A and B are shown apart, each in its own frame.
Chain A
Amino acid sequence: MRRAGLALLLLLGPALAQAATTAAFDRAGGGARAAALGGHSVVLPDDDHALGSSPGRLVFAERSASAQYDRVDPDLELWRGRLGAVMPLGQDLTEPLQTSHVSRAAVGLALDVTSLTLIEGSGYREAAVSLGGGFAPFNILGLGLVGRYEHASSDVTEISASAWGVDFGAAVELTDHLAAAVAIRNALGRASFEEGDDEDRPAELTVGLAAGHHKWWQAEVDWVIRNNVTSALSAGAEAHVVPGMVDLRAGIAREQDPVSSRFVGTAGAGFEFARVHLDYAFRADPDGTLDAQHQLALTARF
């Protein structure tokens, strides 16, 4: 019990930190599908995008590889790209009639790139390499850990930074149609700009609960805590319009900062052709200066 308490303290320590945390390398994970479901989904990811949002879900992911492009803000030429893959390992723990698929272990790898143009026309880029693994002690529980190295550079020679981060996660299938997950992004990590201060990463704790594996729909609600206060509450639903072929998604998130809050609406669609998924998400955040964002992800499951 004492060991468990110590572990929890270590996990939540960075989240409780109040000092200035770096603003670099801060991006939402989870892919286009998660973005369409409110942007904070940690229970419903079932492919390699779990590497970026919910390490505990890695053991529930099918073998897959994906490519993603986010058009965030054309005024700033701000875009993001991602390549990722996940590979289940070991024994298949899925029980007969179990609605989800679970492996004894899984490993994943991803490359994230962010690019934007600075005020005087110089380019600024961030790149991250993530490597993670998951483990299922039994068929309804997944534990995961992701390590990440990140680097930023610019055409302006004196802008350069490097960072590392570690994410933790756990996911559990509560019933055939009810699941939960918790993810701590940047539970550990530091970032430093050249000639700048060494700074903490902004730790983010997300707790999610989802109803899934229904024939016509799935839905999830999420609670995000950052710097010891609620930073977002989100909810999203997915309708299987043509089961196995076409999904329509919508979500809403209440994003909060220390002095204000705003609602961000999301929507999207998913298409599946012969185990190839095409997911699209649209995110409107006019109060957060990002009027319209488009995300497109292509995932192959094999």
Chain B
Amino acid sequence: MLGFGTMSRSFLIALLALAFLAAASTGPTGAAVIGTHAVPSAFSPNGDGVRDSTMILWTLTDSAACLVVRVVPSGTTLPPVRRFYLGERPAGVDTLVWNGTDSTGVLLPDRTYNFFVEQLPASCNKDSILSQGQTAVLLDTAVPPAPTIAHGDTSVTRSQFKVQGVAAFADTVALFRDGARFDTTFTAPPGDAAAAYSFDVVLTEGDNRFSVQSWDRAGNVSPQSLDVNVFYLNAPDISGVSAVPATFSPNGDGRADSTRMRLTLDVPTTRLVVEARRGTAPTPGLPDQTEPVAVLYDGPAPAGAQFYTWDGTDSLGTTAADGEYVLVAQAESLLAGGTPVQGTRRSYARVVLDTAPPPPPFISPPPPARSLSSQVTLNVTVSESDSLRIFRDGFLLRTDQVDVTLGPSVSAHPFPLHIGTNLVTLQAIDLAGNLSVVGGPYTVVYETPVGFHAPERFGKGDVFGVNLQSPATSIVIELFTLRGTPVRQLTATGNTTHFELPWDLKDVAGNLVGDGPYMARLLVGYANGTGQETKAAIVVVK
């Protein structure tokens, strides 16, 4: 028991000694120098007020008993050119400002210098560095040469312009326009003997004087370059060229009898020539082989949108032959000096002159002579047309768009019927507005005889019709195969004597049914609770 107590006491003493040592190790000698850097990292101590000194910054994690900063030329083993004894320093961010001189106050030569921030013991014994931080600083007092502009005085006819050149040993270039600082950009590669710069500018009409000045990283400013003058003359440009309608028919029917060319001039021109020419616009780079037909305009024109109409006649007033034409516009250009030159750049708008009416439309197969549905679908064949007029009993019902094809094309058009005899006539219209002769007539008699009705050959879009003598409230049609398999149920409600129930030829699962005969069981429900059942059969052919 005694032995154990002696051992415990010895162990306690040892623990206390260790705790003391640990506490001692966390004193001033435990600090570290971290985050050493310089702001700015390049400077020019030339007394011009711009970056004349640099500040070295570091952080001490704890107070330091002795801190020394050494300045050593980079890449050498020379002794320090400057040594700062800072002594005891508190924890936290610490700084030192250097103006580029040595300890005697003499400005040091241009080059990169390394800064070593060293924490020493309290004795400031330089052989016992406890921790160290390092950074580099460029001392640069050399002024970069004046930057050059790649071109001399010049004249242009486009407002978009690029001012570019070389700013040797510079990092930044400022552009001066008419003496005022206008823009700034970086060079690439920065600080290089061939460092290039470029400015995109929009010129104003007349003189535009540009000069440039550069800076290097240390803040040394180059002389400003001499002015370079860029004279901008705004020559007329034609844009937004179109012809509407692109296809026209000068036949005096009041529909698309002329076409109108639209163009936009960005500035006034002393001479604008607009012509109608036969042929097609040339491929860029190839000669224009169109033949002149008529001059639509020849004279000065103001800036802005212009419209010129062609009625399809040539210079003698004779209507030109059907075919392809171009409406051509050409604006007189001006040299930079203002000397007028005949326009060489042509702007084209294609037009088609077409006075031939399209073939008359026809319905194939013909519509049913008798319909039990209030609507039939007309399968109309048209050629060389873009729209179709549908008439009922001689009155225009509506105009439908159709696909424009040179050959015959078939399109489906629903046609609503009124009870009794419906007279269907059609008329096609081509892109030029030419009207075909009237197609038809076709006669469809819409009847609603009492009973359960449907097309016996039942196709897509067909309906079951139920016509009753007294109003019913519900209609159910159950469809079966001939073997009795249920296929689909159609329902309708209301309070009327006439019901139409379409069947999309899908079964209850949503799949299209196969062609063939189907049975339909009609269940009619009346408001008084009575009902009526009828059976019928149809043949589906999709």
Contacts and interface: CB of A to CB of B under 8 A. Distances in A.
Interface string B492-535: 00000000000000011101111111111100000000000001
B485 interface: yes
Interface string A161-195: 10000000000000000000000000000011111
A197 B484 contact: no
Contacts of A161: 515-516
A126 B513 CA distance: 19
Interface stretch (A47-55, A112-120, A294-302): A112-120
Contacts of A191: 515-516
Interface in A10-55: 20-28
A78 B456 CA distance: 15
B537 A24 contact: no
Interface in B456-480: 456-457, 478, 480
A23 B511 contact: no
Interface stretch (A85-93, A127-135, A251-259): A251-259
Contact of B516 (A26, A28, A117, A285): A26
Contacts of A245: none
Q: Report, as a range, how many residues of chain B touch the other chain.
A: 35 or more
Interface stretch (A60-68, A151-159, A235-243, A272-280): A151-159
Nearest to A201: B514
A141 to B, nearest CB: 31
Contacts of A288: 480, 483-486
Contacts of B518: 23
Given A20-B514, A257-B485, A197 B509 contact: no
Contact of B482 (A114, A119, A264): A114
Contact of A24 (B454, B478, B512, B515): B515
Contacts of A156: 456-457, 539
Contacts of B538: 118-119
A23 B452 CA distance: 22
B534 to A, nearest CB: 8
B537 A124 contact: yes
Given A191-B515, A260-B486, A289-B480, A118 B540 contact: no
Contacts of B453: 119-120
A198 to B, nearest CB: 10
Nearest to B454: A119
A27 B482 contact: yes
Contacts, number: 128
Contacts of A9: none
Contact of B519 (A114, A195, A287, A289): A289
B413 interface: no
Contact of B478 (A21, A285, A289): A289
Nearest to A290: B484
B345 interface: no
Interface string B428-463: 000000000000000000000000111011000000
A71 B481 CA distance: 16
Given A116-B517, A159-B539, A159-B541, A26 B482 contact: yes
A259 B515 CA distance: 20
B499 to A, nearest CB: 15
Contact of A20 (B511, B517, B520): B511
B483 A28 contact: yes
Q: Which of B480, B509, B519, B520 has the most CB of A within 10 A?
A: B519
Q: Which of B457, B511, B513 has the most C-beta atoms of chain A within 10 angstroms of its own C-beta?
A: B457
A98 interface: no
Most buried by B among A25, A76, A255, A260: A76
B536 interface: yes
B511 A76 contact: no
B542 interface: yes
A23 B481 contact: yes
A255 to B, nearest CB: 7
A197 B541 CA distance: 8
B515 A23 contact: yes
B541 A289 contact: no
A154 B515 CA distance: 14
B267 to A, nearest CB: 65
Nearest to A286: B484
Contacts of A258: 507-509
B456 A122 contact: yes
Which of B457, B480, B517, B520 has most A Cβ within 10 Å? B517
A5 interface: no
A285 B453 CA distance: 25
B515 A196 contact: yes
Nearest to A192: B515
A255 B456 contact: no
Contact of A118 (B482, B513, B536): B536
28 contacts: A20-B512, A20-B513, A24-B517, A27-B483, A76-B535, A116-B517, A116-B537, A118-B538, A119-B453, A119-B454, A119-B537, A120-B456, A124-B517, A154-B456, A154-B539, A159-B541, A191-B515, A191-B516, A193-B539, A193-B541, A202-B514, A257-B485, A259-B508, A285-B484, A287-B484, A288-B480, A288-B485, A289-B478
User: Lowest 10 CB-CB distances: which A-B pairs, in order?
Assistant: A288-B484, A23-B516, A24-B516, A119-B536, A118-B456, A75-B535, A22-B514, A196-B541, A193-B541, A290-B484
